[in-house]
Structure 1
Amino acid sequence: METVLVIGAARSGIAVSKLLLKNGYHVILTDSNKVNEKSELESLGIEVYDEGHPDCLKEKKYAFIVKNPGIPYRVPFVHYFVEQNAKIYTEIEVAYRYAKNFDYAAVTGTDGKTTVTTLLFEMLNRQKKSLVAGNIGTPLCELALEYTDTNYNVALELSNFQLLGIETFRPHVSTVTNLAPDHLDYMDSLEAYFESKMRIYENTNADDYFIRNVDDENVVKYAQNIPCHVIDFSLKRKDVDLYKDDQYAYYKDTQLFKLSDLKIVGEFNCGNAMMASCMAYLMGVSLFNIQEVIREFSGVEHRIEYVDTIDNVRFYNDSKATNTHAACAGLSAFEKNVILLCGGKDKHISFDDLKQYDAVVKKCISFGQTKDKFKDIFSNQVSVETMRDAFEKAVLFAKPGDIVLLCPACSSFDQFKNYEIRGEIFKEMVHDYASKRNEE
C-alpha cells in the first residue's frame, strides 16, 4: 500500500485525506496546530500528527504529498520536500483524478473570481443540478466524496496557490479574469504569480475553451501557447468574440443578455457577467436560463455589497477588495462623495493606482497595519487604529448623499481571521448604527 503525506489539516486537508483513504492509500496527516478531528480520523485509519511536524515524517517514502494551498513552499517542513523533488499536489489535483463524473468550468484571476464563479454556478444550476467548489469555500475533494453517482457540472474558483499544485487537472471552459499584483508575500516574484495563473489551461485540448481578457495587457502578455479554443473578450472592443454594444452582451452573433437587466454595479461587473454567461453557454446552459439569472442576481456578499441607507447615506461592504486592483474596481463603481474605509495587512503592494480616485474619495479613513501608507494617496486622509475607529469617524463625517465604502485594498489578517469576518463585522456596525438612529 502506497503512503501519501497530507500537510495541513484544514477543511480541504481532512477531505483529501478521506478521499485518498477511500482510494486505497495509507494516509499520514500532519498540522502545526491541534487537529480537533484527530480521534475521528485515527478511527478511520488515518495517521495523524498535530501540534508540529516531527522529523520522522521526513524519513518515510511517499507516492506524493498534498499540501494545503495556503502554506508557502518556503516553510521549512515543506521546503525539505521541495528540495527532495517530491511531487507536491493540492487537493484540486487529487479530486480531479477520482471524480470522473465532473465537468469543470474553472475561474481564476486577481479580481472578480468569486462573482464570475457564483454567477456561473447559478446559471449551471438553473439548467440542471450542478456544484460549486474551490477557493469559493467548499473543497473539491468533499464533493468528490459525496457526489459519485451522477454527472455534474462544477463551477470551480481557483487561486494561484491551488493551481501551483496541479498536474493533470483539465477544465472544459476556463478563464483568467484579470492580472494585477497580489500575493507578493507568498510568491517569489510578480512574474511567478502571473505565470501560476496560466496553469489553468495547460492540460486543455482542442475540445476545450479559454476566455482571454484582451483588455488586460498582463493577460495578453502571459496567456500564450494556449492549447484549446481561445475566445477573446473585451469591454472596449467589438472586433472580438465576446463583446457588448449599448444594449446587449454578445458571444459572436448570439445575444447573451440585455445590459439593462444587470443589477450589479460597475463596468467591471458587466465584464464578470459576460464571462460567466459565455462560460455557461459553452457548458450547455440555455439563453433563457442565462438571462433569468442575470435578471435575478444581486451580487456576491462582501463584493460592493449594498448594506443599508441611513439618513440618506449609503453603506457598501467591499471587504473582498484585498488588493489595489480590486479596490480600484470598487471605487470605479461610484462617481463622487465616497468616504473610504481602507487598510489592513501589508502585502507589500503599491497603492499608487488608487490616486486616480482622489476626486471620488471625499475622505479616506485608513486603519490597521497599513494605515499610514494612504497619506500620500488621498488628499483628505486620516489614520486610525481599527476598523471600528474608522467607522465611528465615518458616520460623524458623513452628510446626506455620501457613500461609506469599506474597500480595504489589503488583506484582513492583521486584525481579522479573514475578509468575510471583516465584512460581517462592518455590516454589524452598520446595522447597530441604524438601530441607534431609529431610537433617537
Structure 2
Amino acid sequence: MKNVTTYKNKKVLVLGLALSGVNAAKLLHKLGALVTVNDYKSFEDNTEAQELLEDGMRVVTGGHPVELLDEDFEFVVKNPGIMYNNPIVAKAMEKGIPVLTEVQLAYEVAQCPIVGITGTNGKTTTTTMIADLLNSKQQRGKAYVAGNIGTPASLVVQDVADEDAIIMELSSFQLLGTTTFKPHIAVITNIYSAHLDYHGTREEYVAAKMQITKNQTEEDYLVVNWDQPELRELALASKATVIPFSRQEMVENGVFLSGETIYYLNEPIMNKKDILVPGEHNLENAMAAIAVAKLMGQETPVIKEVLASFAGVKHRTQFVRDYKGRKFYNDSKATNTLATINALNGFTQPVILVAGGLDRGNDFDDLVPHLKQVKGLIVYGETAAKLTQAGEEAGVPSIVTVQNVEAAVPVAYDMSEEGDVVLLSPACASWNQYRSFEVRGDAFIDAIEQLIANIEEGE
C-alpha cells in the first residue's frame, strides 16, 4: 500500500457504513485522517459503528443530520447506495466538498495494476473469469477480486504487492464518486438502460459508466463491446488504446469470432463450443476476459483450459448438477426479462423453466418469442398469472403453478427427460418470498440435493 498523505490530519466524513463504509473508514484512519462516521442505523443496533468507535473514530448514528457539514469537512466518502439527492450529500456538493466513494480511496493507495470492469450486465462473470485466467499457473503475483463483487477495494489494496493485480468490478454508483481513478485496463461489457431511479436519465447513467476511462492515457487499454454502436461512439472519447471484442465481425486489433473459432489478433484461441458456460452473453464475457488475459501476458493453452472448465459464477447461469441426464442450472440473478432471455438463448436443448417472483407491474411480452424451446414452465410468486399468460401465448406445452422455488424442483424433474435442461431463471426480483436472489438460488440448489437424496433413498 502506498503511503499517501492526502488525508493526513484532514477532517473526513464517512457517510453510510456496511462493508464499503467500514473499510473506507478504517483505511482513512490508517492514513491519518480525522474520521467522523455517520450511519442511519441507531447505535444500539449498529455493530459496525460500535467497532469503529472502539478503534478511536467519532461516530454519529440514528440519521444523517445536515448540520454535520457545519464542521468544515474537507472530504465526504459515501456509501455507493446513498443517492445524490440525499440532503447531506446535496449540501456537501453545494458547499464544494468532494464526494467520493471508497473505490477512489483504494486507487490512491494501490501499488499494483488495476483492471476495472463495468457494464450493465456480465460484470461479475467477466471479473471472475479474468481473475481465474490470471491466477492459473502463474509463477508470481496474484489477481485479487474486489469492488462491487462483494469485497471492498479499500480492504484488498492494503495487502497487495507490486507484482499483484486487482480485478475490480465497478458499478455506476461507485464510478460516479471517482476523480483521479485510472485502471490500467478498463472493460465495458455492454450498455443498456438501468438504475434510472438513481441517475435520473440514461445519459447520466452512461456518463457514470464512462468514468472508468476518463483518466486513462494511451499507455492504458479500454476493452469494449464492438457489437454495440453506442459503445463504438463512446470509445472515441477515450485516450486509451481501444481493444474491441466482437461476435459479429473481424476486428483487427482485438478479439473476434470467425466461424466457430475465437481469435485474439490473428491467433486462434479456442472453439466457442469449448466455453463451458452457455449463452451468447457469456461468449461476450469470455471474449472480454480473453482480451485482458492476453494483454496481461497469459498463455493461450492456459486460457483455453480455464474457460473450458469455468462453471459460472454462483446464481448466474451456474451449472449445478447433471442427474440422470438432466442438467440443472441456477440463474437466480436473472431479476429481469433480458437476463432470462439471455439464459434461454444459451441452450439448444429442451428447457424446463422455473420463473416468478415480485410483481413490479411489468408484463412479459418480450419473453414470449424466447419460450419456443421451453417444454415446461413452472411459475410461482406474485407474477405467476402473468408468466402463465406469456407461456400460453408462446404455446408452452405444460405450465404448472407452485408455491415457491423449492416446490418447483420435484415438479421440474417429473416434467423432464434425459437430455433436458432444468433452469431457474426467474425474470423477477426475489423480495416477495426471499431476502435476496442469493437466498433464492441457494434454496433451488438445496432442493435439487434433497430431490436426489429422496430418489436414491427410494431406489
TM-score by length of 1: 0.90
C-alpha separation between the residues in 2 aligned to 1:200 and 1:349? 32
Q: Match of 1:37, SS?
A: helix
Is 1:47 the counterpart of 2:58? The answer is: yes
C-alpha separation between the residues in 2 aligned to 1:411 and 1:286? 40
C-alpha separation between the residues in 2 aligned to 1:414 and 1:301? 21
C-alpha separation between the residues in 2 aligned to 1:349 and 1:102? 45
Counterpart of 1:28? 36
Is 1:377 the counterpart of 2:359? The answer is: no
Alpha-carbon displacement from aligned partner over 1:89-129 (angstroms, at most 9, x marks no partner): 11101110122x12111111122212211111112223332
C-alpha separation between the residues in 2 aligned to 1:191 and 1:225? 15
C-alpha separation between the residues in 2 aligned to 1:369 and 1:218? 36
Say whether the 8 Å CA contact 1:184–1:347 is kept in structure 2: no
Counterpart of 1:102? 112
Counterpart of 2:289? 276
1:236 alignment partner AA: Q
Counting only pairs closer than 5 Å after superposition, residues 146-295 of structure 1 correspond to structure 2 as 146-147=159-160, 149-240=161-252, 241-295=254-308
C-alpha separation between the residues in 2 aligned to 1:312 and 1:93? 49
Counterpart of 1:15? 23
Equivalent in 286, 290, 306 of residue 319 of structure 2 = 306
How far residue 19 of structure 1 moved from its aligned partner, in angstroms, is: 0.6
Counterpart of 2:5? none
How far residue 7 of structure 1 moved from its aligned partner, in angstroms, is: 1.6
1:35 alignment partner AA: N
Counterpart of 2:424? 406
Listed as ranges, the gaps of 5+ residues in structure 2 are 1-8
Change (3 A) 1:180 1:373: farther
Say whether the 8 Å CA contact 1:181–1:349 is kept in structure 2: no
Change (3 A) 1:80 1:43: same
Say whether the 8 Å CA contact 1:324–1:350 is kept in structure 2: no
Indicate the percent of aligned positions where both proteins have the same amino acid: 37
C-alpha separation between the residues in 2 aligned to 1:80 and 1:348? 34
Change (3 A) 1:395 1:196: same
Equivalent in 99, 105, 112 of residue 88 of structure 1 = 99
Q: Which moved more, 1:164-173 or 1:267-276?
A: 267-276
Is 1:339 the counterpart of 2:357? The answer is: no
Change (3 A) 1:289 1:400: closer
Change (3 A) 1:334 1:247: closer
Q: Which moved more, 1:373-382 or 1:3-12?
A: 373-382
Change (3 A) 1:201 1:217: same
Q: Which moved more, 1:175-184 or 1:75-84?
A: 75-84
C-alpha RMSD of the superposition: 2.6
C-alpha separation between the residues in 1 aligned to 2:94 and 2:358? 30
How far residue 228 of structure 1 moved from its aligned partner, in angstroms, is: 1.0
Q: Match of 1:422, SS?
A: helix
Listed as ranges, the gaps of 5+ residues in structure 1 are none
C-alpha separation between the residues in 1 aligned to 2:177 and 2:382? 31
Say whether the 8 Å CA contact 2:18–2:48 is kept in structure 1: no
Change (3 A) 1:221 1:352: farther
Q: Match of 1:417, SS?
A: coil
Counterpart of 1:431? 449
C-alpha separation between the residues in 2 aligned to 1:187 and 1:346? 23
C-alpha separation between the residues in 1 aligned to 2:416 and 2:121? 29
Q: Match of 2:256, SS?
A: strand
How far residue 10 of structure 1 moved from its aligned partner, in angstroms, is: 0.8
1:32 alignment partner AA: Y
Aligned residues: 438
Q: Match of 1:325, SS?
A: helix
1:365 alignment partner AA: I
Q: Match of 1:161, SS?
A: helix
C-alpha separation between the residues in 2 aligned to 1:415 and 1:204? 44
How far residue 78 of structure 1 moved from its aligned partner, in angstroms, is: 3.5
Is 1:137 the counterpart of 2:146? The answer is: no
Alpha-carbon displacement from aligned partner over 1:385-427 (angstroms, at most 9, x marks no partner): 5433544654454455443211122333443333222211110
Equivalent in 11, 16, 22 of residue 3 of structure 1 = 11
